[in-house]
Amino acid sequence: MKVGHSFRRSAPATLRLAGSLALALSLAALCLAQDQAATARLAVVHITGSKKFTSDQIVAATNLRLGAQVGRDDLQRAADDLAKSGRFASVQYRFAASDDGVSAEYQVTDAPSVPVVFDDFPWFTDDELIAALKKSLPLFDGTAPEGGALLDQISDELQGQLTMRGLHGSVTHALTTPPGSDDHVQQFRTEDAALNIASVDFGDALAKTDRGVQSRLSDLVGEKYSRAAVALFEFEQVRPVYYSHGFLNAKFGSISAHVVDSGGIPRVAVTAPVDPGPAFTWRAPKFSGNSAVSTLELDTLVPLHEGDVANGVKMESGWEAIQNAFAERGYLDLVLTPTPHFDDSAKTVAYSVAITEGPQYHMGKLVLTGLSLEGEKRLRAAWKIPAGAVFDRSVYEEFAANGVKEAFSGLPLHYERIGRVLQENHNDATVDVMIDFQ
Protein backbone atom coordinates (compact mmCIF):
# COMPACT_ATOMS: atom_id res chain seq x y z
CA MET A 1 0.00 0.00 0.00
CA LYS A 2 1.45 3.33 -1.07
CA VAL A 3 0.50 6.39 0.97
CA GLY A 4 2.14 9.73 0.43
CA HIS A 5 1.64 13.46 0.36
CA SER A 6 3.05 16.68 -1.01
CA PHE A 7 2.09 20.29 -0.69
CA ARG A 8 2.22 23.43 -2.73
CA ARG A 9 1.22 27.03 -2.29
CA SER A 10 -0.99 28.52 -4.98
CA ALA A 11 0.76 31.89 -4.74
CA PRO A 12 3.01 33.80 -2.34
CA ALA A 13 0.90 35.15 0.45
CA THR A 14 0.99 38.95 0.38
CA LEU A 15 -0.24 41.08 3.19
CA ARG A 16 -3.07 43.17 1.87
CA LEU A 17 -5.31 45.71 3.50
CA ALA A 18 -8.36 43.46 2.98
CA GLY A 19 -9.56 43.12 6.53
CA SER A 20 -8.61 40.93 9.44
CA LEU A 21 -10.43 37.80 8.12
CA ALA A 22 -8.43 37.61 4.88
CA LEU A 23 -5.23 38.27 6.80
CA ALA A 24 -6.01 35.46 9.26
CA LEU A 25 -6.76 33.01 6.45
CA SER A 26 -3.50 33.80 4.66
CA LEU A 27 -1.45 33.37 7.77
CA ALA A 28 -3.20 30.10 8.69
CA ALA A 29 -2.68 28.66 5.22
CA LEU A 30 1.00 29.59 5.26
CA CYS A 31 1.46 28.07 8.67
CA LEU A 32 -0.20 24.85 7.58
CA ALA A 33 2.26 24.43 4.76
CA GLN A 34 5.23 25.11 7.05
CA ASP A 35 4.16 23.97 10.50
CA GLN A 36 3.00 20.43 11.37
CA ALA A 37 0.85 21.70 14.26
CA ALA A 38 -0.87 24.57 12.43
CA THR A 39 -4.47 24.44 11.21
CA ALA A 40 -6.49 26.20 8.54
CA ARG A 41 -10.00 26.15 7.12
CA LEU A 42 -10.65 23.22 4.74
CA ALA A 43 -12.06 24.75 1.58
CA VAL A 44 -11.97 21.92 -0.99
CA VAL A 45 -11.51 18.13 -0.95
CA HIS A 46 -11.32 16.31 -4.27
CA ILE A 47 -10.59 12.64 -5.06
CA THR A 48 -9.30 11.35 -8.40
CA GLY A 49 -8.29 7.95 -9.78
CA SER A 50 -11.13 5.66 -8.70
CA LYS A 51 -13.27 3.94 -11.31
CA LYS A 52 -15.62 2.44 -8.71
CA PHE A 53 -16.51 5.38 -6.50
CA THR A 54 -17.28 9.05 -7.00
CA SER A 55 -15.22 11.76 -5.35
CA ASP A 56 -18.11 12.53 -2.97
CA GLN A 57 -18.38 8.89 -1.86
CA ILE A 58 -14.69 8.70 -1.04
CA VAL A 59 -14.69 12.10 0.67
CA ALA A 60 -17.53 10.88 2.90
CA ALA A 61 -15.29 8.01 4.01
CA THR A 62 -12.44 10.34 5.03
CA ASN A 63 -14.44 12.12 7.78
CA LEU A 64 -13.07 15.43 6.49
CA ARG A 65 -15.63 18.24 6.70
CA LEU A 66 -15.56 21.35 4.55
CA GLY A 67 -15.21 24.50 6.63
CA ALA A 68 -13.56 22.69 9.53
CA GLN A 69 -10.12 23.59 10.83
CA VAL A 70 -7.62 20.94 9.73
CA GLY A 71 -3.92 20.37 10.13
CA ARG A 72 -1.47 18.24 8.19
CA ASP A 73 -2.07 15.40 10.65
CA ASP A 74 -5.77 15.44 9.76
CA LEU A 75 -5.01 15.25 6.04
CA GLN A 76 -2.54 12.41 6.61
CA ARG A 77 -5.03 10.57 8.84
CA ALA A 78 -7.62 10.71 6.07
CA ALA A 79 -5.11 9.22 3.63
CA ASP A 80 -4.23 6.49 6.13
CA ASP A 81 -7.91 5.65 6.68
CA LEU A 82 -8.47 5.27 2.94
CA ALA A 83 -5.42 3.03 2.66
CA LYS A 84 -6.43 0.89 5.64
CA SER A 85 -9.95 0.40 4.28
CA GLY A 86 -8.65 -2.12 1.74
CA ARG A 87 -10.48 -0.40 -1.11
CA PHE A 88 -7.40 1.25 -2.59
CA ALA A 89 -4.08 -0.14 -3.72
CA SER A 90 -2.40 3.26 -3.33
CA VAL A 91 -3.29 6.63 -1.84
CA GLN A 92 -1.41 9.89 -2.40
CA TYR A 93 -2.43 13.40 -1.48
CA ARG A 94 -1.36 16.97 -1.82
CA PHE A 95 -2.74 20.25 -0.59
CA ALA A 96 -2.60 23.87 -1.65
CA ALA A 97 -2.72 26.73 0.82
CA SER A 98 -4.37 29.98 -0.28
CA ASP A 99 -6.31 32.91 1.10
CA ASP A 100 -9.51 30.85 0.89
CA GLY A 101 -8.09 28.07 3.02
CA VAL A 102 -6.77 24.64 2.14
CA SER A 103 -7.58 22.63 -0.98
CA ALA A 104 -6.77 18.92 -0.60
CA GLU A 105 -6.54 16.47 -3.48
CA TYR A 106 -6.28 12.70 -2.95
CA GLN A 107 -5.20 10.44 -5.77
CA VAL A 108 -6.15 6.77 -5.39
CA THR A 109 -6.05 3.56 -7.36
CA ASP A 110 -8.70 0.91 -6.82
CA ALA A 111 -7.80 -2.41 -5.21
CA PRO A 112 -9.38 -5.69 -6.39
CA SER A 113 -12.75 -6.55 -4.88
CA VAL A 114 -14.83 -9.72 -4.56
CA PRO A 115 -18.57 -10.43 -4.22
CA VAL A 116 -20.11 -10.40 -0.76
CA VAL A 117 -22.06 -13.41 0.52
CA PHE A 118 -24.30 -13.34 3.61
CA ASP A 119 -24.09 -16.91 4.85
CA ASP A 120 -26.69 -17.20 7.59
CA PHE A 121 -28.91 -14.13 7.89
CA PRO A 122 -32.38 -15.65 7.28
CA TRP A 123 -34.06 -12.72 9.06
CA PHE A 124 -33.16 -10.44 6.13
CA THR A 125 -33.14 -10.53 2.36
CA ASP A 126 -29.87 -9.84 0.59
CA ASP A 127 -31.35 -6.62 -0.80
CA GLU A 128 -32.20 -5.41 2.71
CA LEU A 129 -28.68 -6.02 3.97
CA ILE A 130 -27.04 -4.45 0.93
CA ALA A 131 -29.26 -1.36 1.22
CA ALA A 132 -28.40 -0.98 4.91
CA LEU A 133 -24.68 -1.31 4.23
CA LYS A 134 -24.75 1.18 1.36
CA LYS A 135 -26.59 3.67 3.55
CA SER A 136 -24.05 3.55 6.37
CA LEU A 137 -20.78 2.79 4.53
CA PRO A 138 -19.84 5.11 1.63
CA LEU A 139 -17.29 2.62 0.29
CA PHE A 140 -19.67 -0.36 0.13
CA ASP A 141 -21.03 -1.14 -3.33
CA GLY A 142 -22.14 -4.76 -2.95
CA THR A 143 -18.58 -6.02 -3.13
CA ALA A 144 -15.76 -6.00 -0.59
CA PRO A 145 -11.97 -5.95 -0.62
CA GLU A 146 -10.01 -9.09 0.15
CA GLY A 147 -8.70 -7.47 3.33
CA GLY A 148 -8.77 -4.21 5.24
CA ALA A 149 -10.71 -2.23 7.82
CA LEU A 150 -13.84 -2.02 5.67
CA LEU A 151 -14.50 -5.71 6.39
CA ASP A 152 -14.74 -5.04 10.12
CA GLN A 153 -16.98 -2.06 9.43
CA ILE A 154 -19.31 -4.30 7.41
CA SER A 155 -19.32 -6.84 10.23
CA ASP A 156 -20.15 -4.14 12.76
CA GLU A 157 -23.02 -2.84 10.65
CA LEU A 158 -24.43 -6.34 10.17
CA GLN A 159 -24.19 -6.93 13.90
CA GLY A 160 -26.10 -3.69 14.39
CA GLN A 161 -28.83 -5.00 12.10
CA LEU A 162 -29.09 -8.10 14.27
CA THR A 163 -29.31 -6.01 17.41
CA MET A 164 -32.16 -3.94 15.96
CA ARG A 165 -34.09 -7.19 15.49
CA GLY A 166 -33.42 -8.18 19.10
CA LEU A 167 -30.96 -10.87 18.01
CA HIS A 168 -27.66 -11.61 19.67
CA GLY A 169 -24.55 -12.91 17.99
CA SER A 170 -21.26 -11.65 16.64
CA VAL A 171 -20.53 -11.38 12.93
CA THR A 172 -17.32 -12.70 11.38
CA HIS A 173 -15.92 -12.63 7.86
CA ALA A 174 -13.67 -14.90 5.81
CA LEU A 175 -12.39 -15.07 2.25
CA THR A 176 -13.73 -18.32 0.80
CA THR A 177 -14.16 -20.13 -2.52
CA PRO A 178 -17.65 -21.40 -3.43
CA PRO A 179 -17.99 -25.04 -4.55
CA GLY A 180 -17.18 -25.53 -8.22
CA SER A 181 -15.56 -22.11 -8.56
CA ASP A 182 -12.03 -20.75 -8.62
CA ASP A 183 -13.17 -17.27 -7.62
CA HIS A 184 -13.14 -15.87 -4.10
CA VAL A 185 -16.03 -14.33 -2.21
CA GLN A 186 -16.09 -12.45 1.08
CA GLN A 187 -18.39 -14.43 3.35
CA PHE A 188 -20.07 -12.87 6.39
CA ARG A 189 -21.69 -15.13 8.96
CA THR A 190 -23.19 -14.97 12.42
CA GLU A 191 -21.99 -16.71 15.54
CA ASP A 192 -24.48 -17.94 18.17
CA ALA A 193 -27.50 -16.46 16.41
CA ALA A 194 -28.23 -19.00 13.67
CA LEU A 195 -31.26 -21.31 13.40
CA ASN A 196 -31.69 -24.90 12.25
CA ILE A 197 -33.10 -25.83 8.85
CA ALA A 198 -36.76 -26.90 8.72
CA SER A 199 -37.01 -27.67 4.98
CA VAL A 200 -35.24 -27.32 1.64
CA ASP A 201 -37.22 -26.69 -1.56
CA PHE A 202 -35.43 -27.11 -4.90
CA GLY A 203 -38.53 -26.17 -6.88
CA ASP A 204 -38.12 -28.92 -9.49
CA ALA A 205 -39.65 -32.38 -9.72
CA LEU A 206 -36.39 -34.27 -10.32
CA ALA A 207 -34.73 -33.03 -7.14
CA LYS A 208 -37.93 -33.56 -5.17
CA THR A 209 -38.29 -37.18 -6.27
CA ASP A 210 -34.72 -38.41 -6.72
CA ARG A 211 -34.02 -41.01 -4.05
CA GLY A 212 -30.38 -40.09 -3.76
CA VAL A 213 -31.11 -36.42 -3.13
CA GLN A 214 -33.95 -37.12 -0.73
CA SER A 215 -31.98 -39.70 1.24
CA ARG A 216 -29.20 -37.19 1.83
CA LEU A 217 -31.42 -34.27 2.83
CA SER A 218 -30.86 -35.25 6.45
CA ASP A 219 -27.38 -33.77 5.98
CA LEU A 220 -29.16 -30.39 5.93
CA VAL A 221 -32.57 -30.62 7.57
CA GLY A 222 -32.29 -30.24 11.32
CA GLU A 223 -28.78 -28.82 11.06
CA LYS A 224 -27.67 -25.24 11.51
CA TYR A 225 -28.60 -23.09 8.53
CA SER A 226 -25.69 -22.06 6.35
CA ARG A 227 -25.99 -20.94 2.76
CA ALA A 228 -22.50 -22.33 2.13
CA ALA A 229 -23.59 -25.76 3.41
CA VAL A 230 -26.66 -25.72 1.13
CA ALA A 231 -24.50 -24.68 -1.84
CA LEU A 232 -22.06 -27.52 -1.13
CA PHE A 233 -24.95 -30.02 -0.90
CA GLU A 234 -26.32 -28.71 -4.18
CA PHE A 235 -22.94 -29.05 -5.87
CA GLU A 236 -22.11 -32.52 -4.53
CA GLN A 237 -25.57 -34.16 -4.41
CA VAL A 238 -28.02 -32.32 -6.66
CA ARG A 239 -25.88 -31.18 -9.58
CA PRO A 240 -24.61 -34.71 -10.47
CA VAL A 241 -28.21 -35.97 -10.60
CA TYR A 242 -29.17 -33.37 -13.20
CA TYR A 243 -26.00 -33.90 -15.20
CA SER A 244 -26.48 -37.67 -15.21
CA HIS A 245 -29.96 -37.12 -16.72
CA GLY A 246 -28.58 -35.00 -19.54
CA PHE A 247 -29.53 -31.60 -18.08
CA LEU A 248 -26.13 -30.16 -18.95
CA ASN A 249 -27.31 -26.55 -18.86
CA ALA A 250 -29.19 -26.80 -15.57
CA LYS A 251 -29.12 -23.51 -13.70
CA PHE A 252 -28.93 -23.39 -9.91
CA GLY A 253 -30.51 -20.19 -8.69
CA SER A 254 -29.64 -17.98 -5.75
CA ILE A 255 -30.24 -19.65 -2.39
CA SER A 256 -32.66 -17.79 -0.13
CA ALA A 257 -34.14 -18.46 3.29
CA HIS A 258 -36.74 -17.14 5.72
CA VAL A 259 -37.69 -17.88 9.29
CA VAL A 260 -40.78 -20.02 9.91
CA ASP A 261 -42.58 -21.33 12.97
CA SER A 262 -41.93 -25.07 13.23
CA GLY A 263 -43.89 -26.50 16.13
CA GLY A 264 -43.43 -23.33 18.14
CA ILE A 265 -39.70 -23.22 17.40
CA PRO A 266 -38.27 -20.75 14.89
CA ARG A 267 -36.50 -22.55 12.08
CA VAL A 268 -35.37 -21.78 8.53
CA ALA A 269 -37.14 -22.69 5.30
CA VAL A 270 -34.61 -22.76 2.45
CA THR A 271 -35.30 -22.28 -1.24
CA ALA A 272 -32.61 -23.42 -3.68
CA PRO A 273 -34.30 -23.23 -7.10
CA VAL A 274 -33.20 -25.42 -9.99
CA ASP A 275 -34.09 -24.69 -13.62
CA PRO A 276 -33.21 -27.94 -15.42
CA GLY A 277 -33.49 -26.71 -18.99
CA PRO A 278 -33.64 -29.32 -21.78
CA ALA A 279 -32.27 -32.86 -21.46
CA PHE A 280 -29.69 -33.52 -24.20
CA THR A 281 -28.75 -36.68 -26.04
CA TRP A 282 -25.22 -37.60 -27.05
CA ARG A 283 -23.52 -37.27 -30.42
CA ALA A 284 -20.07 -38.70 -31.03
CA PRO A 285 -17.24 -36.28 -30.20
CA LYS A 286 -14.64 -35.12 -32.69
CA PHE A 287 -11.02 -35.27 -31.53
CA SER A 288 -8.13 -33.23 -32.87
CA GLY A 289 -4.44 -32.96 -32.05
CA ASN A 290 -3.97 -36.58 -30.94
CA SER A 291 -1.22 -38.79 -32.35
CA ALA A 292 -0.04 -40.96 -29.44
CA VAL A 293 -3.52 -42.42 -28.90
CA SER A 294 -5.74 -43.23 -31.87
CA THR A 295 -9.15 -41.64 -32.33
CA LEU A 296 -10.68 -45.13 -32.33
CA GLU A 297 -9.28 -45.80 -28.85
CA LEU A 298 -10.36 -42.39 -27.62
CA ASP A 299 -13.92 -43.10 -28.76
CA THR A 300 -13.98 -46.25 -26.64
CA LEU A 301 -12.81 -44.40 -23.53
CA VAL A 302 -15.93 -42.23 -23.36
CA PRO A 303 -18.70 -44.59 -22.09
CA LEU A 304 -21.45 -43.05 -24.23
CA HIS A 305 -22.89 -43.96 -27.62
CA GLU A 306 -24.74 -42.01 -30.29
CA GLY A 307 -28.29 -41.32 -29.09
CA ASP A 308 -27.62 -42.01 -25.40
CA VAL A 309 -28.68 -39.56 -22.74
CA ALA A 310 -25.79 -37.10 -22.49
CA ASN A 311 -24.82 -38.27 -19.03
CA GLY A 312 -22.49 -35.57 -17.71
CA VAL A 313 -21.05 -37.83 -15.02
CA LYS A 314 -20.05 -40.48 -17.56
CA MET A 315 -18.72 -37.74 -19.78
CA GLU A 316 -16.40 -36.46 -17.04
CA SER A 317 -15.18 -39.99 -16.37
CA GLY A 318 -14.44 -40.32 -20.09
CA TRP A 319 -12.32 -37.16 -20.16
CA GLU A 320 -10.43 -38.47 -17.11
CA ALA A 321 -9.88 -41.84 -18.81
CA ILE A 322 -8.42 -40.06 -21.82
CA GLN A 323 -6.03 -38.11 -19.57
CA ASN A 324 -4.93 -41.39 -17.98
CA ALA A 325 -4.45 -43.11 -21.35
CA PHE A 326 -1.95 -40.45 -22.39
CA ALA A 327 -0.28 -40.42 -18.94
CA GLU A 328 0.36 -44.16 -19.30
CA ARG A 329 2.32 -43.33 -22.43
CA GLY A 330 4.42 -40.63 -20.76
CA TYR A 331 2.36 -37.58 -21.76
CA LEU A 332 2.04 -35.93 -18.36
CA ASP A 333 1.43 -32.37 -19.61
CA LEU A 334 -1.56 -33.21 -21.77
CA VAL A 335 -4.13 -30.42 -22.18
CA LEU A 336 -7.64 -31.64 -22.97
CA THR A 337 -10.16 -29.00 -24.04
CA PRO A 338 -13.72 -30.31 -24.61
CA THR A 339 -16.00 -27.69 -26.20
CA PRO A 340 -19.74 -28.46 -26.28
CA HIS A 341 -21.94 -27.64 -29.27
CA PHE A 342 -25.59 -27.65 -28.27
CA ASP A 343 -28.44 -28.08 -30.74
CA ASP A 344 -31.40 -26.81 -28.72
CA SER A 345 -33.97 -27.69 -31.35
CA ALA A 346 -32.79 -31.31 -31.68
CA LYS A 347 -31.75 -31.42 -27.99
CA THR A 348 -28.38 -32.94 -28.83
CA VAL A 349 -24.84 -32.11 -27.80
CA ALA A 350 -21.62 -32.84 -29.67
CA TYR A 351 -18.15 -32.10 -28.33
CA SER A 352 -15.10 -31.01 -30.22
CA VAL A 353 -12.14 -32.14 -28.13
CA ALA A 354 -8.83 -30.38 -28.75
CA ILE A 355 -5.76 -32.26 -27.49
CA THR A 356 -2.32 -30.80 -26.89
CA GLU A 357 -0.08 -33.72 -26.05
CA GLY A 358 3.11 -31.98 -24.93
CA PRO A 359 6.41 -33.89 -24.54
CA GLN A 360 6.66 -37.61 -23.87
CA TYR A 361 8.51 -38.15 -20.58
CA HIS A 362 10.97 -40.95 -19.79
CA MET A 363 12.09 -42.28 -16.45
CA GLY A 364 14.90 -40.33 -14.79
CA LYS A 365 16.11 -41.07 -11.26
CA LEU A 366 14.43 -42.86 -8.36
CA VAL A 367 15.34 -40.80 -5.27
CA LEU A 368 14.61 -42.44 -1.89
CA THR A 369 15.24 -40.73 1.45
CA GLY A 370 14.70 -41.69 5.07
CA LEU A 371 15.16 -45.46 4.52
CA SER A 372 17.45 -48.09 5.96
CA LEU A 373 19.82 -49.80 3.54
CA GLU A 374 17.61 -52.91 3.48
CA GLY A 375 14.47 -50.85 2.93
CA GLU A 376 16.01 -48.93 0.04
CA LYS A 377 17.29 -52.17 -1.51
CA ARG A 378 13.80 -53.68 -1.45
CA LEU A 379 12.13 -50.61 -2.92
CA ARG A 380 14.59 -50.32 -5.79
CA ALA A 381 14.05 -53.98 -6.58
CA ALA A 382 10.28 -53.47 -6.58
CA TRP A 383 10.33 -50.37 -8.82
CA LYS A 384 9.20 -51.39 -12.32
CA ILE A 385 10.18 -48.52 -14.66
CA PRO A 386 13.85 -48.69 -15.69
CA ALA A 387 15.81 -45.50 -16.32
CA GLY A 388 15.24 -44.18 -19.84
CA ALA A 389 11.97 -46.11 -20.35
CA VAL A 390 8.74 -44.30 -21.18
CA PHE A 391 7.24 -43.13 -17.90
CA ASP A 392 3.90 -44.77 -17.09
CA ARG A 393 2.06 -42.82 -14.43
CA SER A 394 -0.30 -45.71 -13.69
CA VAL A 395 2.71 -47.84 -12.64
CA TYR A 396 3.84 -45.04 -10.36
CA GLU A 397 0.36 -44.68 -8.79
CA GLU A 398 0.11 -48.45 -8.21
CA PHE A 399 3.57 -48.51 -6.65
CA ALA A 400 2.67 -45.66 -4.28
CA ALA A 401 -0.65 -47.26 -3.33
CA ASN A 402 0.42 -50.90 -2.92
CA GLY A 403 3.98 -51.57 -4.08
CA VAL A 404 5.65 -49.83 -1.15
CA LYS A 405 3.69 -51.90 1.39
CA GLU A 406 4.41 -55.12 -0.46
CA ALA A 407 8.14 -54.32 -0.68
CA PHE A 408 8.28 -53.80 3.09
CA SER A 409 6.34 -56.98 3.86
CA GLY A 410 8.05 -58.83 6.72
CA LEU A 411 10.23 -55.89 7.76
CA PRO A 412 9.60 -54.24 11.18
CA LEU A 413 9.29 -50.78 9.64
CA HIS A 414 6.87 -48.00 10.52
CA TYR A 415 6.60 -44.59 8.90
CA GLU A 416 4.20 -41.87 10.04
CA ARG A 417 4.29 -40.08 6.73
CA ILE A 418 5.41 -40.82 3.19
CA GLY A 419 5.91 -37.87 0.85
CA ARG A 420 6.11 -38.36 -2.88
CA VAL A 421 6.85 -35.97 -5.72
CA LEU A 422 7.18 -36.27 -9.48
CA GLN A 423 9.89 -33.88 -10.61
CA GLU A 424 9.51 -33.13 -14.32
CA ASN A 425 12.73 -32.08 -16.06
CA HIS A 426 11.63 -30.16 -19.11
CA ASN A 427 15.08 -29.82 -20.65
CA ASP A 428 15.48 -33.55 -21.32
CA ALA A 429 11.83 -34.67 -20.85
CA THR A 430 12.62 -36.99 -17.94
CA VAL A 431 10.82 -37.55 -14.64
CA ASP A 432 12.53 -38.09 -11.31
CA VAL A 433 10.47 -39.97 -8.73
CA MET A 434 11.15 -38.75 -5.21
CA ILE A 435 9.83 -40.64 -2.19
CA ASP A 436 10.59 -39.46 1.36
CA PHE A 437 9.90 -41.64 4.40
CA GLN A 438 9.39 -39.94 7.76
pLDDT of residue 10: 34
Better-scored residue on pLDDT, 438 or 232: 232
Length of the chain: 438
Confidence class for position 119, pLDDT limits 50, 70, 90: very high
Written as one string, the DSSP assignment of 36-65 is: TT-EEEEEEEEEES-SSS-HHHHHHHHT--
Q: Does the pLDDT value for residue 87 go beyond 80?
A: yes
Radius of gyration of the chain (CA): 32
Q: What structural domains does the chain harbor?
A: 2-110 (3.10.20.310), 113-191 (3.10.20.310), 197-275 (3.10.20.310), 281-356 (3.10.20.310), 362-437 (3.10.20.310)
3-state secondary structure string across 201-250: ECCCHHHHHCHHHHHHHHHCCCCECCHHHHHHHHHHHHHHHHHHCCCCCC
Q: HSE on the CB side for 163, CA within 13 Å?
A: 8
| Contact present, 255 and 268 (Cβ < 8 Å) | no
Q: What does the mean pLDDT of the chain come to?
A: 90
Q: Does the pLDDT value for residue 124 go beyond 70?
A: yes
Q: Does the pLDDT value for residue 168 go beyond 60?
A: yes
| Contact present, 120 and 190 (Cβ < 8 Å) | yes
Q: Return all residues near 118 (Cβ < 8 A) that are at least 6 apart.
A: 124, 126, 129, 158, 188, 189, 227
Closest CA to 331 of 364, 363, 299, 358: 358
pLDDT of residue 35: 57
Q: Does the pLDDT value for residue 32 go beyond 60?
A: no
CA distance 309 to 369: 50
pLDDT of residue 15: 26
pLDDT of residue 20: 34
pLDDT of residue 39: 84
Mean pLDDT of 219-232: 96
pLDDT of residue 98: 83
Better-scored residue on pLDDT, 173 or 24: 173
Confidence class for position 23, pLDDT limits 50, 70, 90: very low
Mean pLDDT of 81-91: 96
Gap between the terminal Cα atoms of the chain? 42
Single-letter amino acid, residue 321: A
For the stretch 305-323, pLDDT in tens is 999 999 999 999 999 999 9
Most confident of 32-46, 260-274, 350-364: 350-364
Confidence class for position 13, pLDDT limits 50, 70, 90: very low
Q: Does the pLDDT value for residue 29 go beyond 90?
A: no
Single-letter amino acid, residue 174: A
Q: Does the pLDDT value for residue 201 go beyond 70?
A: yes
